[in-house]
């Protein structure tokens, strides 16, 4: 091996190679934090979208929203209206003490479970009953008579009506705040509210806040459905639109197969809860499809944003309308407020990873621009007075499994969203006051 002289020392070729290797070997970079989304940017973005502008705004109020209102009952604090699983449990318990319907109800539940739905909801059960009824004819089907199936259907709907037919307990609920927000924030286009709930809480809040609204029906004593007014949509912009896409506890199918809206119950009429079972000639005059179509029209019109709360993306029909609308209009967007972690809404995750204009804001993280990440852990104080309303670290483990130090999104709770809308209203009043004073 050859030697060279460097500063009076003998250096072999091997020494030179080793030294060169040390010079060119990469330096190990310091560890970096995992990429994350900034929840505070979502706060600013949301305030901008909800500010007075030409952008069309709509809300999708899901079954999780009534859970935000807690009331005393039997010595305990409980939600005003139970979630769909709790509602189903109460209905099943009522049927179990009905000697005429107990056995058939148990058989129907077992059949639905046998179809691969381990925890059926009321809507799963009603869909199965109505499918059997449509196939039964005069001779019945699988041992179930047409009359018995119809009796069970009516009994379930009546149980649901009794459970959810409750008033708002106070005049300052999130529903009232939403109604005040709609009334106060002037817009060129009307605010539209879509809801999967059968209750009358939105109607109560809108009426107590004296917000004019159109829900597809015309008349006072026994209102009738007006599809032409729904299609033309030429009412003033200050009129909110209320679309109940899963029916309502005050919708009835008359014996002449007409649809009416009334609190009054008439013997022989069918309550229209989750009314997707109607035949084509009935559905043509049925609010269910017409109101779903309003969602399609909304998402295809100009710049628009659909804000969801209490909706878990479990309804395939609604998901399909949202997906089609977002695909067909790049200026449309959907911002979904999720109460718990992302893992609890797999359908929402799948949609958001396909549509860049669908943002999922869950407790533990978000999917923004199809990118699925946690929220970061850098708390910010004082930069935006709305931040404490939207972002925090202290959530119970029942709502989020994210680390204690990680930021969490709060607006999946309808009560928190109400406080956020109230903040925007109060800030608007202050700004107007300063402007008037000057």
Domain boundary among 129, 149, 164: 164
Do 251 and 141 fall within a single domain? no
pLDDT at 265: 85
Length of the chain, please? 438
In DSSP terms, 242 is beta-bridged to 193
- In 3D, which of 248, 250, 69, 84 has the Cα closest to residue 168? 69
Structural domains counted in the chain: 2
What residues make up the domain containing 406? 39-76+167-430
- Residue 12: inside a domain: no
Do 156 and 173 fall within a single domain? no
**Cβ count near 137 (within 10 Å):** 9
Rounded CA gap, 353 and 342, in Å? Answer: 12
Quick one: how many helices (H) and strands (E) in the chain? 15, 20
- Residue 390: inside a domain: yes
**Phi, psi (degrees; rounded to nearest 5) at 89:** -60, -45
Instruction: State the sign of the Cα–Cα–Cα–Cα dihedral 321, 229, 182, 52.
Output: positive
> Would you write out the chain's pLDDT as a tens digit for each of its 438 residues?
444 444 444 445 444 444 444 444 444 444 445 689 999 999 999 999 998 878 899 999 999 999 999 999 888 999 999 999 999 999 999 999 999 999 999 999 999 999 999 999 998 999 899 888 888 777 778 888 888 999 999 999 999 999 999 999 999 999 999 999 999 988 889 999 999 999 999 999 999 999 999 999 998 878 988 888 888 888 899 999 999 999 999 999 888 888 899 988 888 888 888 765 444 444 444 677 888 889 999 999 889 999 999 999 999 989 999 999 999 999 999 999 999 999 999 999 999 999 999 999 999 999 999 999 999 988 776 678 899 999 999 999 999 999 999 999 999 999 999 999 999 998 865 344 333 333
- Residue 114: inside a domain: yes
Rounded CA gap, 390 and 361, in Å? Answer: 11
Do 150 and 281 fall within a single domain? no
- Residue 5: inside a domain: no
Do 44 and 109 fall within a single domain? no
- Residue 29: inside a domain: no
pLDDT at 430: 39
Do 424 and 384 fall within a single domain? yes
In DSSP terms, 202 is beta-bridged to none
The DSSP annotation for 347-376 comes to: HHHHHHTT-TTEEEE-SSEEEETTEEEEB-
pLDDT at 34: 67
Rounded CA gap, 223 and 238, in Å? Answer: 21
Do 114 and 172 fall within a single domain? no
pLDDT at 111: 94
**Phi, psi (degrees; rounded to nearest 5) at 267:** -55, 140
Do 221 and 340 fall within a single domain? yes
Do 153 and 202 fall within a single domain? no
Domain boundary among 107, 135, 164: 164
- In 3D, which of 389, 387, 413, 386 has the Cα closest to residue 400? 413
Q: 3-class SS at 35?
A: coil
Tokens of 31: 């560890």
- Residue 412: inside a domain: yes
Q: Is the whole-model pTM more than 0.85?
A: yes
Domain boundary among 164, 182, 215: 164
pLDDT at 275: 65
Do 57 and 159 fall within a single domain? no
Do 333 and 385 fall within a single domain? yes
């Amino acid at each position: 091996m050859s030697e060279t002289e460097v500063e009076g020392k003998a250096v072999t070729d091997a020494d030179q190679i080793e030294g060169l290797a040390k010079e060119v070997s990469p330096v190990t970079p310091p560890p970096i934090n995992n990429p994350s989304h900034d929840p505070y940017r979502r706060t600013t973005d949301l305030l901008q979208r909800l500010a007075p502008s030409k952008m069309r705004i709509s809300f999708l109020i899901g079954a999780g929203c009534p859970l935000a209102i807690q009331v005393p009952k039997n010595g305990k604090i409980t939600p005003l209206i139970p979630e769909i699983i709790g509602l189903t449990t109460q209905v099943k318990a009522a049927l179990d003490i009905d000697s005429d319907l107990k056995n058939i109800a148990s058989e129907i539940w077992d059949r639905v479970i046998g179809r691969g739905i381990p925890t059926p909801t009321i809507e799963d059960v009603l869909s199965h009953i109505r499918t059997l009824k449509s196939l039964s004819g005069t001779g019945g089907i699988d041992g179930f008579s047409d009359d018995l199936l119809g009796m069970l259907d009516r009994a379930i709907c009546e149980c649901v009506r009794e459970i959810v037919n409750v008033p708002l307990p106070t005049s300052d609920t999130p529903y009232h705040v939403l109604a005040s927000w709609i009334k106060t924030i002037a817009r060129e286009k009307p605010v539209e509210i879509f809801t999967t709930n059968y209750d009358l809480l939105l109607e109560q809040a809108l009426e107590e806040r004296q917000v004019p609204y159109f829900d597809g029906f015309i008349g006072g004593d026994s209102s009738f459905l007006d599809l032409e007014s729904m299609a033309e949509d030429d009412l003033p912009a200050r009129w909110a639109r209320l679309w109940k896409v899963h029916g309502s506890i005050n919708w009835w199918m008359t014996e002449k197969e007409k649809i009416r809206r009334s609190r009054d119950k008439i013997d022989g009429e069918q309550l229209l809860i989750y009314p997707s079972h109607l035949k084509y000639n009935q559905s043509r005059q049925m609010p269910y499809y017409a109101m779903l179509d309003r969602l399609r029209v909304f998402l295809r019109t100009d710049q628009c944003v659909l804000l969801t709360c209490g909706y878990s993306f479990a309804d395939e029909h609604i998901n399909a309308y949202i997906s089609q609308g977002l695909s067909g209009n790049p200026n449309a967007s959907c911002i979904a407020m999720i109460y718990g972690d992302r893992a609890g809404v797999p359908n929402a995750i799948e949609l958001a990873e396909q549509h860049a204009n669908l943002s999922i804001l869950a407790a533990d993280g978000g999917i923004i621009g199809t990118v699925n990440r946690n929220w970061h852990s850098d708390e910010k104080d004082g930069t935006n007075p709305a931040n404490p309303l939207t972002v925090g670290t202290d959530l119970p483990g029942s709502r989020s499994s994210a680390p204690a130090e990680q930021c969490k999104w709060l607006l999946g709770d309808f009560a928190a969203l109400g406080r956020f809308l109230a903040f925007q209203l109060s800030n608007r009043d202050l700004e107007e006051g300063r402007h008037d004073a000057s």
